[in-house]
Amino acid sequence: MNRLKLTMHDSLVEAERHLRVIPRNIELLIFATIQPIMFLALFAYVFGGSISIPGFDNYDQFLMPGIFSQSLVFGSAFTSIGLAEDLSKGLVDRLRSLPMSRSAVIIGRTVSDLVRNLLTFCVMLTAAFLLGFRFGGSILEALIATGLLVLFSYALSWVQALIGLTVSSVEAANSAGFIWMFPLTFVSSAFVDPSTMPSWLEVVANANPFTVVTNAARALYNGLPVGNDAWISLLWSVGLIVVFSMIATRKFSQSTSS
Amino acid sequence: MTERFAVEMRGVVKRFDDTLALNGVDLAVPTGAVYGLLGPNGAGKTTSVKVLTTLIRPDAGMATIDGIDVVAQPDDVRRRIGLTGQYAAVDERLTARENLVYVGRLFHLGTTEARLRAGNLLDRFDLADSADRVVKGFSGGMRRRLDIAMSLIAHPSVLFLDEPTTGLDPRSRLGMWDVIEDLAADGTTVLLTTQYLEEADRLAEQIVVIDHGQVIAEGSPDELKTRTGGALLQVSIARAENREVALSVLAPMCSGRVEIRDDRTFEAPIVAGDRVVPSVIRALDDAGVDVLDVVVRRPSLDDVFLALTGHAASGEEEQS
Protein backbone atom coordinates (compact mmCIF):
# COMPACT_ATOMS: atom_id res chain seq x y z
CA MET A 1 0.00 0.00 0.00
CA ASN A 2 1.47 3.36 -0.85
CA ARG A 3 1.72 6.07 1.74
CA LEU A 4 -1.28 8.17 0.67
CA LYS A 5 -3.57 5.16 0.38
CA LEU A 6 -2.38 3.93 3.77
CA THR A 7 -3.07 7.29 5.38
CA MET A 8 -6.55 7.48 3.84
CA HIS A 9 -7.44 3.92 4.89
CA ASP A 10 -6.18 4.37 8.46
CA SER A 11 -7.83 7.80 8.80
CA LEU A 12 -11.13 6.30 7.73
CA VAL A 13 -10.81 3.47 10.26
CA GLU A 14 -10.06 6.03 12.97
CA ALA A 15 -12.94 8.33 11.95
CA GLU A 16 -15.29 5.35 11.93
CA ARG A 17 -14.23 4.46 15.50
CA HIS A 18 -15.39 7.90 16.71
CA LEU A 19 -18.51 8.19 14.55
CA ARG A 20 -19.74 4.74 15.52
CA VAL A 21 -20.15 5.82 19.14
CA ILE A 22 -22.04 9.09 18.55
CA PRO A 23 -25.49 7.47 18.58
CA ARG A 24 -24.51 5.58 21.77
CA ASN A 25 -24.17 8.72 23.82
CA ILE A 26 -27.69 10.09 23.68
CA GLU A 27 -27.13 12.60 26.50
CA LEU A 28 -24.16 14.18 24.74
CA LEU A 29 -26.14 14.30 21.51
CA ILE A 30 -29.06 16.06 23.19
CA PHE A 31 -26.88 18.67 24.88
CA ALA A 32 -24.84 19.21 21.74
CA THR A 33 -28.11 19.97 19.97
CA ILE A 34 -29.71 22.09 22.68
CA GLN A 35 -26.74 24.38 23.23
CA PRO A 36 -26.65 26.08 19.81
CA ILE A 37 -30.46 26.39 19.73
CA MET A 38 -30.36 28.00 23.16
CA PHE A 39 -27.63 30.40 22.03
CA LEU A 40 -29.67 31.38 18.97
CA ALA A 41 -32.84 31.96 20.96
CA LEU A 42 -31.13 33.80 23.82
CA PHE A 43 -29.22 36.24 21.66
CA ALA A 44 -32.11 36.80 19.28
CA TYR A 45 -34.64 37.55 22.02
CA VAL A 46 -32.40 39.21 24.65
CA PHE A 47 -30.35 41.49 22.40
CA GLY A 48 -32.55 41.47 19.32
CA GLY A 49 -34.63 44.44 20.34
CA SER A 50 -31.86 46.73 21.60
CA ILE A 51 -29.17 46.27 18.98
CA SER A 52 -29.38 47.74 15.55
CA ILE A 53 -26.65 47.38 12.97
CA PRO A 54 -26.23 49.82 10.10
CA GLY A 55 -27.00 48.10 6.81
CA PHE A 56 -29.22 45.44 8.41
CA ASP A 57 -32.99 46.00 8.89
CA ASN A 58 -33.13 43.06 11.17
CA TYR A 59 -30.53 42.16 13.86
CA ASP A 60 -31.30 38.44 13.42
CA GLN A 61 -29.92 38.50 9.87
CA PHE A 62 -26.69 39.98 11.27
CA LEU A 63 -26.53 37.89 14.43
CA MET A 64 -27.41 34.39 13.26
CA PRO A 65 -24.44 33.90 10.91
CA GLY A 66 -22.30 35.04 13.84
CA ILE A 67 -23.80 32.38 16.06
CA PHE A 68 -23.37 29.72 13.37
CA SER A 69 -19.76 30.73 13.17
CA GLN A 70 -19.27 30.69 16.95
CA SER A 71 -20.98 27.33 17.44
CA LEU A 72 -18.88 25.68 14.74
CA VAL A 73 -15.71 27.08 16.26
CA PHE A 74 -16.74 25.90 19.75
CA GLY A 75 -17.32 22.46 18.26
CA SER A 76 -13.63 22.19 17.44
CA ALA A 77 -12.92 21.82 21.18
CA PHE A 78 -14.14 18.20 20.97
CA THR A 79 -10.88 17.42 19.18
CA SER A 80 -8.63 18.38 22.08
CA ILE A 81 -10.78 16.50 24.59
CA GLY A 82 -10.95 13.38 22.43
CA LEU A 83 -7.23 13.20 21.77
CA ALA A 84 -6.41 13.84 25.43
CA GLU A 85 -8.71 10.94 26.27
CA ASP A 86 -6.89 8.53 23.94
CA LEU A 87 -3.61 9.69 25.44
CA SER A 88 -4.67 9.31 29.06
CA LYS A 89 -5.98 5.79 28.49
CA GLY A 90 -2.74 4.42 27.10
CA LEU A 91 -4.41 3.89 23.72
CA VAL A 92 -1.73 6.13 22.23
CA ASP A 93 0.98 3.55 23.02
CA ARG A 94 -0.97 0.87 21.21
CA LEU A 95 -1.63 3.12 18.20
CA ARG A 96 1.99 4.19 17.99
CA SER A 97 3.14 0.56 18.09
CA LEU A 98 0.91 -0.35 15.11
CA PRO A 99 2.10 -0.33 11.49
CA MET A 100 -0.30 2.53 10.72
CA SER A 101 0.00 6.07 9.43
CA ARG A 102 1.09 8.51 12.16
CA SER A 103 -1.15 11.31 10.98
CA ALA A 104 -4.23 9.07 10.59
CA VAL A 105 -4.98 9.19 14.30
CA ILE A 106 -5.41 12.97 14.18
CA ILE A 107 -6.99 13.11 10.71
CA GLY A 108 -9.55 10.51 11.80
CA ARG A 109 -10.31 12.49 14.94
CA THR A 110 -10.64 15.87 13.17
CA VAL A 111 -12.75 14.40 10.36
CA SER A 112 -15.15 12.71 12.77
CA ASP A 113 -15.44 15.98 14.72
CA LEU A 114 -16.16 17.74 11.44
CA VAL A 115 -19.05 15.35 10.74
CA ARG A 116 -20.36 15.89 14.26
CA ASN A 117 -20.14 19.66 13.79
CA LEU A 118 -22.03 19.44 10.51
CA LEU A 119 -24.85 17.57 12.24
CA THR A 120 -25.06 20.29 14.90
CA PHE A 121 -24.99 22.92 12.18
CA CYS A 122 -27.96 21.38 10.38
CA VAL A 123 -29.99 21.41 13.59
CA MET A 124 -29.03 25.03 14.21
CA LEU A 125 -29.87 26.13 10.69
CA THR A 126 -33.31 24.57 10.99
CA ALA A 127 -33.88 26.35 14.30
CA ALA A 128 -32.72 29.63 12.75
CA PHE A 129 -35.25 29.25 9.95
CA LEU A 130 -37.99 28.64 12.48
CA LEU A 131 -36.95 31.86 14.25
CA GLY A 132 -37.27 33.81 10.99
CA PHE A 133 -33.77 33.71 9.48
CA ARG A 134 -33.71 33.74 5.67
CA PHE A 135 -30.98 33.49 3.00
CA GLY A 136 -30.71 36.88 1.28
CA GLY A 137 -28.71 35.52 -1.64
CA SER A 138 -28.62 32.34 -3.71
CA ILE A 139 -28.40 28.79 -2.39
CA LEU A 140 -24.90 28.61 -3.89
CA GLU A 141 -23.83 31.64 -1.85
CA ALA A 142 -25.29 30.02 1.28
CA LEU A 143 -23.40 26.82 0.51
CA ILE A 144 -20.12 28.70 0.05
CA ALA A 145 -20.77 30.56 3.32
CA THR A 146 -21.33 27.26 5.12
CA GLY A 147 -18.25 25.77 3.50
CA LEU A 148 -16.07 28.65 4.72
CA LEU A 149 -17.39 28.32 8.28
CA VAL A 150 -16.95 24.56 8.35
CA LEU A 151 -13.46 24.76 6.89
CA PHE A 152 -12.40 27.29 9.52
CA SER A 153 -13.81 25.08 12.25
CA TYR A 154 -11.86 22.16 10.77
CA ALA A 155 -8.69 24.25 10.76
CA LEU A 156 -9.16 25.07 14.44
CA SER A 157 -9.63 21.33 15.10
CA TRP A 158 -5.94 20.96 14.20
CA VAL A 159 -5.03 23.69 16.69
CA GLN A 160 -7.15 21.81 19.24
CA ALA A 161 -5.39 18.57 18.32
CA LEU A 162 -2.08 20.12 19.31
CA ILE A 163 -3.61 21.32 22.58
CA GLY A 164 -5.04 17.86 23.30
CA LEU A 165 -1.64 16.27 22.67
CA THR A 166 0.16 18.84 24.83
CA VAL A 167 -1.90 19.05 28.02
CA SER A 168 -1.52 16.42 30.71
CA SER A 169 -5.15 15.42 31.36
CA VAL A 170 -8.63 15.32 29.90
CA GLU A 171 -9.76 17.95 32.43
CA ALA A 172 -6.96 20.27 31.33
CA ALA A 173 -7.89 19.67 27.68
CA ASN A 174 -11.45 20.63 28.50
CA SER A 175 -10.35 24.01 29.89
CA ALA A 176 -7.47 24.67 27.51
CA GLY A 177 -9.63 23.80 24.53
CA PHE A 178 -12.45 26.16 25.48
CA ILE A 179 -10.90 29.14 27.25
CA TRP A 180 -9.46 30.92 24.19
CA MET A 181 -12.70 30.40 22.28
CA PHE A 182 -14.32 33.18 24.31
CA PRO A 183 -12.01 36.08 23.42
CA LEU A 184 -11.67 34.65 19.89
CA THR A 185 -15.40 34.73 19.25
CA PHE A 186 -16.47 37.77 21.34
CA VAL A 187 -13.71 40.17 20.30
CA SER A 188 -15.01 39.94 16.77
CA SER A 189 -17.82 40.99 14.51
CA ALA A 190 -19.96 38.00 15.46
CA PHE A 191 -22.42 39.86 17.73
CA VAL A 192 -21.78 43.58 17.31
CA ASP A 193 -20.16 45.97 14.89
CA PRO A 194 -16.47 46.30 15.98
CA SER A 195 -16.62 50.06 15.37
CA THR A 196 -18.66 50.35 18.59
CA MET A 197 -15.72 48.92 20.60
CA PRO A 198 -12.91 50.96 22.21
CA SER A 199 -10.52 51.78 19.38
CA TRP A 200 -7.67 49.41 20.51
CA LEU A 201 -10.16 46.55 20.77
CA GLU A 202 -11.59 47.40 17.38
CA VAL A 203 -8.12 46.92 15.90
CA VAL A 204 -7.86 43.50 17.54
CA ALA A 205 -11.38 42.53 16.45
CA ASN A 206 -10.76 43.49 12.85
CA ALA A 207 -7.47 41.56 12.75
CA ASN A 208 -9.12 38.49 14.23
CA PRO A 209 -9.42 35.77 11.55
CA PHE A 210 -12.71 34.79 13.13
CA THR A 211 -14.04 38.25 12.16
CA VAL A 212 -12.93 37.76 8.57
CA VAL A 213 -14.58 34.36 8.32
CA THR A 214 -17.77 35.58 10.01
CA ASN A 215 -17.96 38.65 7.75
CA ALA A 216 -17.50 36.53 4.66
CA ALA A 217 -20.21 34.06 5.70
CA ARG A 218 -22.57 36.82 6.78
CA ALA A 219 -22.23 38.67 3.49
CA LEU A 220 -22.82 35.49 1.50
CA TYR A 221 -25.82 34.38 3.58
CA ASN A 222 -27.39 37.82 3.14
CA GLY A 223 -26.55 38.18 -0.54
CA LEU A 224 -24.31 41.20 0.12
CA PRO A 225 -20.96 41.94 -1.59
CA VAL A 226 -18.33 39.79 0.10
CA GLY A 227 -15.20 41.60 -1.11
CA ASN A 228 -11.89 39.90 -0.29
CA ASP A 229 -13.13 38.35 2.94
CA ALA A 230 -13.92 35.00 1.27
CA TRP A 231 -10.39 34.61 -0.10
CA ILE A 232 -8.72 35.80 3.06
CA SER A 233 -10.73 33.43 5.22
CA LEU A 234 -9.93 30.57 2.86
CA LEU A 235 -6.23 31.41 3.16
CA TRP A 236 -6.45 31.55 6.95
CA SER A 237 -8.06 28.11 7.10
CA VAL A 238 -5.66 26.46 4.68
CA GLY A 239 -2.68 28.09 6.40
CA LEU A 240 -3.78 26.92 9.85
CA ILE A 241 -4.34 23.38 8.57
CA VAL A 242 -0.91 23.19 6.92
CA VAL A 243 1.01 24.59 9.88
CA PHE A 244 -0.83 22.84 12.70
CA SER A 245 -1.10 19.47 10.96
CA MET A 246 2.69 19.38 10.74
CA ILE A 247 3.23 20.40 14.36
CA ALA A 248 0.48 18.16 15.76
CA THR A 249 1.61 15.09 13.79
CA ARG A 250 5.17 15.60 14.99
CA LYS A 251 3.92 15.99 18.54
CA PHE A 252 1.88 12.79 18.24
CA SER A 253 4.91 10.84 17.03
CA GLN A 254 6.71 11.77 20.25
CA SER A 255 3.95 11.29 22.78
CA THR A 256 3.64 8.25 25.02
CA SER A 257 1.47 7.50 28.00
CA SER A 258 2.92 8.74 31.27
CA MET B 1 26.77 -15.42 11.89
CA THR B 2 25.59 -15.65 15.49
CA GLU B 3 22.26 -17.08 16.56
CA ARG B 4 19.34 -14.88 15.57
CA PHE B 5 17.27 -13.64 18.46
CA ALA B 6 13.63 -12.63 18.42
CA VAL B 7 14.49 -9.71 20.70
CA GLU B 8 17.91 -8.23 21.10
CA MET B 9 19.29 -5.16 22.86
CA ARG B 10 22.97 -4.25 22.90
CA GLY B 11 24.24 -1.44 25.10
CA VAL B 12 20.99 0.50 24.95
CA VAL B 13 21.13 3.88 26.67
CA LYS B 14 18.18 6.20 27.25
CA ARG B 15 18.30 9.42 29.19
CA PHE B 16 15.31 11.51 30.32
CA ASP B 17 16.41 15.00 31.28
CA ASP B 18 18.90 14.23 34.04
CA THR B 19 17.84 10.63 34.80
CA LEU B 20 19.62 7.77 33.12
CA ALA B 21 16.69 5.40 32.55
CA LEU B 22 18.71 2.80 30.63
CA ASN B 23 22.43 2.58 31.20
CA GLY B 24 23.64 0.07 28.65
CA VAL B 25 21.04 -2.70 28.66
CA ASP B 26 21.94 -6.01 27.00
CA LEU B 27 19.20 -8.53 26.36
CA ALA B 28 18.75 -11.47 24.01
CA VAL B 29 15.55 -13.49 23.82
CA PRO B 30 15.61 -16.57 21.57
CA THR B 31 12.61 -17.23 19.32
CA GLY B 32 9.76 -18.96 21.12
CA ALA B 33 11.08 -18.25 24.61
CA VAL B 34 9.27 -16.56 27.48
CA TYR B 35 11.50 -14.07 29.24
CA GLY B 36 10.72 -12.13 32.37
CA LEU B 37 12.18 -8.69 32.94
CA LEU B 38 12.18 -8.34 36.71
CA GLY B 39 12.87 -5.19 38.64
CA PRO B 40 11.45 -2.57 40.98
CA ASN B 41 9.65 0.59 39.87
CA GLY B 42 12.02 2.88 38.02
CA ALA B 43 14.47 0.10 37.14
CA GLY B 44 13.98 0.64 33.40
CA LYS B 45 11.57 -2.17 32.54
CA THR B 46 8.94 -0.03 30.83
CA THR B 47 11.58 2.10 29.13
CA SER B 48 13.14 -1.07 27.68
CA VAL B 49 9.76 -2.18 26.36
CA LYS B 50 9.12 1.28 24.88
CA VAL B 51 12.44 1.20 23.04
CA LEU B 52 11.74 -2.29 21.68
CA THR B 53 8.22 -1.38 20.56
CA THR B 54 9.41 1.77 18.73
CA LEU B 55 7.66 4.16 21.13
CA ILE B 56 10.88 5.91 22.12
CA ARG B 57 14.24 6.15 20.40
CA PRO B 58 17.31 5.01 22.28
CA ASP B 59 20.13 7.54 22.73
CA ALA B 60 22.77 4.87 22.08
CA GLY B 61 23.08 1.16 21.44
CA MET B 62 20.98 -1.00 19.16
CA ALA B 63 17.73 -2.89 19.52
CA THR B 64 16.26 -5.37 17.05
CA ILE B 65 13.17 -7.52 16.65
CA ASP B 66 13.77 -10.61 14.47
CA GLY B 67 17.00 -8.93 13.46
CA ILE B 68 15.22 -5.76 12.27
CA ASP B 69 16.45 -2.50 13.75
CA VAL B 70 13.78 -0.62 15.71
CA VAL B 71 15.16 2.81 14.79
CA ALA B 72 15.95 2.19 11.13
CA GLN B 73 12.83 0.21 10.18
CA PRO B 74 10.14 0.96 12.75
CA ASP B 75 7.25 0.01 10.44
CA ASP B 76 8.68 -3.46 9.75
CA VAL B 77 9.13 -3.92 13.50
CA ARG B 78 5.56 -2.79 14.22
CA ARG B 79 4.19 -5.45 11.86
CA ARG B 80 5.85 -8.13 13.99
CA ILE B 81 5.02 -7.10 17.52
CA GLY B 82 2.07 -7.01 19.87
CA LEU B 83 2.11 -4.69 22.86
CA THR B 84 0.02 -4.83 26.00
CA GLY B 85 0.99 -1.91 28.17
CA GLN B 86 0.39 -1.14 31.82
CA TYR B 87 -2.92 0.55 31.07
CA ALA B 88 -5.50 -1.48 29.21
CA ALA B 89 -5.26 0.17 25.79
CA VAL B 90 -8.85 -0.36 24.72
CA ASP B 91 -11.51 2.07 23.51
CA GLU B 92 -14.11 1.68 26.23
CA ARG B 93 -16.85 3.25 24.11
CA LEU B 94 -16.65 0.32 21.69
CA THR B 95 -17.66 -3.31 22.22
CA ALA B 96 -15.02 -6.01 22.67
CA ARG B 97 -15.57 -7.25 19.11
CA GLU B 98 -15.38 -3.73 17.65
CA ASN B 99 -12.09 -3.11 19.47
CA LEU B 100 -10.60 -6.27 17.96
CA VAL B 101 -11.82 -5.61 14.43
CA TYR B 102 -10.64 -2.01 14.69
CA VAL B 103 -7.07 -2.98 15.58
CA GLY B 104 -7.15 -5.75 12.97
CA ARG B 105 -8.02 -3.22 10.28
CA LEU B 106 -5.17 -0.98 11.40
CA PHE B 107 -2.89 -3.99 10.84
CA HIS B 108 -4.43 -3.99 7.31
CA LEU B 109 -5.88 -7.46 7.62
CA GLY B 110 -9.01 -6.63 5.65
CA THR B 111 -12.39 -6.46 7.32
CA THR B 112 -13.41 -10.09 6.69
CA GLU B 113 -10.15 -11.48 8.01
CA ALA B 114 -10.22 -9.10 10.99
CA ARG B 115 -13.78 -10.22 11.88
CA LEU B 116 -12.83 -13.88 11.62
CA ARG B 117 -9.81 -13.50 13.89
CA ALA B 118 -11.76 -11.33 16.32
CA GLY B 119 -14.32 -14.12 16.69
CA ASN B 120 -11.61 -16.71 17.37
CA LEU B 121 -9.84 -14.53 19.91
CA LEU B 122 -13.08 -13.74 21.75
CA ASP B 123 -13.66 -17.50 22.16
CA ARG B 124 -10.10 -18.17 23.16
CA PHE B 125 -10.00 -15.41 25.79
CA ASP B 126 -13.33 -16.34 27.28
CA LEU B 127 -14.97 -13.11 26.12
CA ALA B 128 -17.54 -14.59 23.73
CA ASP B 129 -20.46 -13.92 26.08
CA SER B 130 -19.53 -10.25 26.40
CA ALA B 131 -18.35 -9.82 22.82
CA ASP B 132 -21.01 -7.29 21.87
CA ARG B 133 -21.11 -5.36 25.12
CA VAL B 134 -19.50 -1.96 25.45
CA VAL B 135 -16.12 -2.28 27.22
CA LYS B 136 -16.94 0.46 29.73
CA GLY B 137 -18.74 -2.09 31.94
CA PHE B 138 -15.90 -4.66 31.83
CA SER B 139 -13.92 -5.72 34.91
CA GLY B 140 -10.17 -5.10 35.09
CA GLY B 141 -9.46 -8.74 34.26
CA MET B 142 -11.74 -8.69 31.20
CA ARG B 143 -10.16 -5.49 29.92
CA ARG B 144 -6.70 -6.97 30.28
CA ARG B 145 -7.74 -10.14 28.44
CA LEU B 146 -9.24 -8.04 25.65
CA ASP B 147 -6.07 -5.96 25.58
CA ILE B 148 -3.91 -9.07 25.07
CA ALA B 149 -6.34 -10.39 22.46
CA MET B 150 -5.97 -7.09 20.57
CA SER B 151 -2.19 -7.49 20.68
CA LEU B 152 -2.50 -10.93 19.10
CA ILE B 153 -4.85 -10.11 16.23
CA ALA B 154 -2.11 -9.99 13.59
CA HIS B 155 -0.23 -13.06 14.90
CA PRO B 156 2.80 -11.14 16.17
CA SER B 157 6.08 -12.98 16.37
CA VAL B 158 6.93 -11.21 19.63
CA LEU B 159 4.46 -10.22 22.34
CA PHE B 160 5.37 -7.60 24.93
CA LEU B 161 3.47 -7.66 28.20
CA ASP B 162 4.30 -4.72 30.43
CA GLU B 163 3.26 -5.62 33.97
CA PRO B 164 0.30 -7.68 32.76
CA THR B 165 -1.15 -8.28 36.23
CA THR B 166 -0.50 -4.96 37.97
CA GLY B 167 -3.74 -3.68 39.47
CA LEU B 168 -5.63 -6.96 39.07
CA ASP B 169 -7.32 -8.74 41.95
CA PRO B 170 -5.83 -12.13 42.92
CA ARG B 171 -8.41 -14.13 40.99
CA SER B 172 -7.94 -12.17 37.77
CA ARG B 173 -4.19 -12.45 38.25
CA LEU B 174 -4.42 -16.24 38.28
CA GLY B 175 -6.62 -16.11 35.17
CA MET B 176 -4.07 -13.90 33.43
CA TRP B 177 -1.28 -16.33 34.32
CA ASP B 178 -3.23 -19.14 32.63
CA VAL B 179 -3.65 -16.99 29.53
CA ILE B 180 0.07 -16.22 29.37
CA GLU B 181 0.99 -19.87 29.92
CA ASP B 182 -1.24 -20.85 26.99
CA LEU B 183 0.53 -18.30 24.80
CA ALA B 184 3.89 -19.69 25.79
CA ALA B 185 2.68 -23.20 24.96
CA ASP B 186 1.74 -21.93 21.47
CA GLY B 187 5.32 -20.91 20.82
CA THR B 188 4.81 -17.13 20.88
CA THR B 189 7.94 -15.29 21.96
CA VAL B 190 6.97 -13.33 25.05
CA LEU B 191 8.84 -10.63 26.94
CA LEU B 192 7.00 -9.72 30.10
CA THR B 193 7.94 -7.26 32.78
CA THR B 194 7.00 -7.68 36.38
CA GLN B 195 7.78 -6.52 39.87
CA TYR B 196 6.85 -9.89 41.33
CA LEU B 197 9.38 -12.68 41.59
CA GLU B 198 6.50 -15.13 42.03
CA GLU B 199 5.07 -14.09 38.67
CA ALA B 200 8.38 -14.30 36.83
CA ASP B 201 9.03 -17.65 38.51
CA ARG B 202 5.75 -19.08 37.34
CA LEU B 203 5.70 -17.71 33.78
CA ALA B 204 9.24 -17.16 32.56
CA GLU B 205 11.80 -19.75 31.63
CA GLN B 206 14.51 -17.14 31.92
CA ILE B 207 14.56 -14.11 34.22
CA VAL B 208 16.53 -10.96 33.58
CA VAL B 209 16.93 -8.81 36.67
CA ILE B 210 17.23 -5.11 36.00
CA ASP B 211 18.09 -2.29 38.39
CA HIS B 212 19.01 1.35 37.79
CA GLY B 213 18.89 0.83 34.02
CA GLN B 214 21.29 -2.11 33.99
CA VAL B 215 20.95 -5.87 33.83
CA ILE B 216 22.36 -7.16 37.11
CA ALA B 217 21.59 -10.86 36.79
CA GLU B 218 20.15 -13.37 34.39
CA GLY B 219 19.19 -16.98 34.79
CA SER B 220 16.45 -19.52 35.16
CA PRO B 221 14.15 -19.03 38.17
CA ASP B 222 15.92 -21.89 39.97
CA GLU B 223 19.36 -20.47 39.30
CA LEU B 224 18.32 -17.10 40.66
CA LYS B 225 16.74 -18.60 43.72
CA THR B 226 19.85 -20.60 44.41
CA ARG B 227 21.87 -17.41 44.19
CA THR B 228 19.60 -15.75 46.69
CA GLY B 229 19.98 -18.68 49.08
CA GLY B 230 16.68 -20.31 48.24
CA ALA B 231 13.79 -20.17 50.66
CA LEU B 232 13.61 -19.48 54.35
CA LEU B 233 12.34 -22.13 56.75
CA GLN B 234 10.55 -21.04 59.92
CA VAL B 235 9.90 -23.60 62.67
CA SER B 236 7.97 -23.02 65.91
CA ILE B 237 8.04 -25.62 68.65
CA ALA B 238 5.69 -26.05 71.59
CA ARG B 239 8.12 -26.14 74.53
CA ALA B 240 11.26 -24.09 75.07
CA GLU B 241 13.06 -26.94 76.87
CA ASN B 242 13.23 -28.82 73.53
CA ARG B 243 15.28 -26.00 72.03
CA GLU B 244 18.67 -27.71 71.99
CA VAL B 245 17.27 -30.95 70.57
CA ALA B 246 15.41 -29.07 67.84
CA LEU B 247 18.53 -27.10 66.94
CA SER B 248 20.63 -30.21 66.57
CA VAL B 249 17.96 -31.83 64.38
CA LEU B 250 17.54 -28.78 62.14
CA ALA B 251 21.18 -27.79 61.64
CA PRO B 252 22.15 -30.59 59.22
CA MET B 253 18.96 -30.17 57.18
CA CYS B 254 19.41 -26.50 56.32
CA SER B 255 21.70 -24.84 53.85
CA GLY B 256 22.87 -22.14 56.26
CA ARG B 257 23.10 -21.15 59.90
CA VAL B 258 19.99 -21.62 62.05
CA GLU B 259 18.95 -18.34 63.62
CA ILE B 260 17.09 -18.36 66.92
CA ARG B 261 14.24 -15.81 66.81
CA ASP B 262 13.04 -16.49 70.34
CA ASP B 263 13.04 -19.51 72.65
CA ARG B 264 10.65 -21.43 70.48
CA THR B 265 11.14 -20.12 66.94
CA PHE B 266 13.99 -20.87 64.53
CA GLU B 267 14.76 -19.55 61.07
CA ALA B 268 17.12 -21.05 58.54
CA PRO B 269 17.74 -20.90 54.80
CA ILE B 270 16.94 -24.02 52.82
CA VAL B 271 17.27 -25.01 49.20
CA ALA B 272 13.82 -24.60 47.75
CA GLY B 273 12.00 -27.53 46.27
CA ASP B 274 13.80 -30.45 47.97
CA ARG B 275 10.91 -31.63 50.15
CA VAL B 276 12.51 -30.27 53.25
CA VAL B 277 9.27 -29.53 55.10
CA PRO B 278 8.00 -33.12 55.47
CA SER B 279 11.47 -34.33 56.47
CA VAL B 280 11.81 -31.55 59.04
CA ILE B 281 8.48 -32.42 60.62
CA ARG B 282 9.27 -36.12 60.63
CA ALA B 283 12.75 -35.64 62.10
CA LEU B 284 11.52 -33.33 64.85
CA ASP B 285 8.69 -35.74 65.61
CA ASP B 286 11.14 -38.67 65.87
CA ALA B 287 13.27 -36.63 68.28
CA GLY B 288 10.22 -36.06 70.45
CA VAL B 289 9.85 -32.33 69.72
CA ASP B 290 6.28 -31.01 69.54
CA VAL B 291 6.04 -28.91 66.38
CA LEU B 292 3.60 -26.01 66.40
CA ASP B 293 4.19 -24.68 62.92
CA VAL B 294 6.48 -25.01 59.93
CA VAL B 295 6.47 -22.23 57.33
CA VAL B 296 8.52 -21.86 54.17
CA ARG B 297 8.87 -18.28 53.07
CA ARG B 298 9.73 -18.03 49.38
CA PRO B 299 12.27 -15.37 48.50
CA SER B 300 10.68 -12.08 47.52
CA LEU B 301 11.92 -9.50 45.07
CA ASP B 302 13.54 -7.78 48.03
CA ASP B 303 15.45 -10.95 48.95
CA VAL B 304 16.66 -11.30 45.36
CA PHE B 305 17.79 -7.71 45.32
CA LEU B 306 19.40 -7.94 48.70
CA ALA B 307 21.36 -10.98 47.57
CA LEU B 308 22.31 -9.52 44.17
CA THR B 309 22.95 -5.90 44.98
CA GLY B 310 23.22 -5.66 48.72
CA HIS B 311 20.37 -3.14 48.77
CA ALA B 312 16.64 -3.57 48.91
CA ALA B 313 14.48 -3.00 45.85
CA SER B 314 13.90 0.73 45.93
CA GLY B 315 10.51 2.12 45.05
CA GLU B 316 11.36 4.99 42.72
CA GLU B 317 8.81 6.00 40.12
CA GLU B 318 9.13 4.43 36.73
CA GLN B 319 10.27 6.91 34.10
CA SER B 320 8.21 7.05 30.99
Q: Is B37 or B254 the better-scoring residue by pLDDT?
A: B37
Residue B179 lies in a domain: yes
Kindly state whether residues B115 and B169 are assigned to the same domain.
yes
Question: Are residues B30 and B74 both part of a single domain?
Answer: yes
User: Residue B317 above 60 pLDDT?
Assistant: no
Best interface-test mutation with A: which of B48, B53, B70, B87 has the largest number of A CBs within 10 A?
B87
Together in a domain, B147 and B29: yes
Confidence label for B313 from pLDDT (cuts 50, 70 and 90): low
When pLDDT is cut at 50, 70 and 90, the band that residue B15 belongs to is very high
- Structural domain boundaries enclosing B11: 5-220
pLDDT score of B274: 65
**B114 and B235 part of one domain:** no
- Percentage of residues of chain B with pLDDT beyond 70: 92
Tell me whether residue B150 is in a domain.
yes
Q: Is B312 part of any domain? A: no
What's the mean pLDDT in B279-307? 81
The H-or-E segment that residue B209 falls in is: strand B206-211
The count of domains in chain B is 2
| Cβ neighbours for B19, distance < 8 A, ≥ 6 positions apart | B319
Region B227-255 average pLDDT: 82
The DSSP output letter for A151 is H
CB B221 within 8 Å of CB B188: no
Task: Kindly state whether residue B307 falls inside one of the protein's structural domains.
Answer: no
pLDDT at A256: 65
Q: Tell me, what's the pLDDT at B119?
A: 96
The pLDDT value given to residue B320: 38
Q: Is residue B176 part of a domain?
A: yes
In this prediction, residue B74 has a pLDDT band, given cuts at 50, 70 and 90, of very high
B111 shares a domain with B149: yes
Nearest-5° angle of CA B219, CA B175, CA B141? 115
Q: Return the bridge partners of B219, or none.
A: B207
**Weakly modelled stretches of chain A, pLDDT under 70:** 1, 256-258
B304 domain residue, yes or no: no
Q: Do B75 and A90 touch (CB under 8 A)?
A: no
Answer yes or no: do B181 and B76 share one domain.
Answer: yes
- Provide, as residue numbers in chain B, all residues whose Cβ is less than 8 Å from the Cβ of A10: 106
Q: Are residues B259 and B168 in the same domain?
A: no
What per-residue confidence (pLDDT) applies to B289? 87
pLDDT reported for residue B315 = 46
For B192, the 3-state DSSP assignment is strand
Same domain, B181 and B163: yes
- Asked if ipTM goes beyond 0.90, one says no
Whether residues B211 and B241 share a domain: the answer is no
Any B CB within 8 A of A98 CB = yes
**Is the CB of A99 less than 8 angstroms away from the CB of B88?**
no
| Residue B66 is assigned to a structural domain of this protein | yes
- Is residue A2 within 8 angstroms of chain B, CB to CB? no
- Alpha-carbon torsion, ordered A233, A239, A244, A250, to 10 deg: 160
Which of B220, B238, B265 is the last residue before a domain boundary? B220
pLDDT surpassing 90 at residue B252: no
Is the domain of B173 the same as that of B88? yes
- The terminus-to-terminus CA distance of chain A in angstroms comes to 33
CATH, residue B266:
3.30.70.1150
Q: Which residues have CB under 8 Å from B170's CB, separation 6+?
A: none
Q: Is B308 exposed, middle or buried (0-12, 13-18, 19+ CB in 10 A)?
A: middle
Angstrom CA distances, B251 to A152, B245, B266, stand at 83, 10, 10
The predicted structure's pLDDT at residue B193: 94
End of a domain among B186, B202, B220? B220
Establish if B99 belongs to a structural domain. Answer: yes
- Spell out a b/e string for A219-231, using b for 16 or more CB atoms within 10 Å of the CB, else e: bbbbebebeebbe
Residues B243 and B211 in one domain: no
- The residues in A 142-181 lying below 8 A from B, measured between CB atoms, are none
Note whether B184 and B204 are same-domain residues: yes
The pLDDT score that the predictor gives to residue B319 is 40
Q: B258, B268 in Cβ contact below 8 A?
A: yes
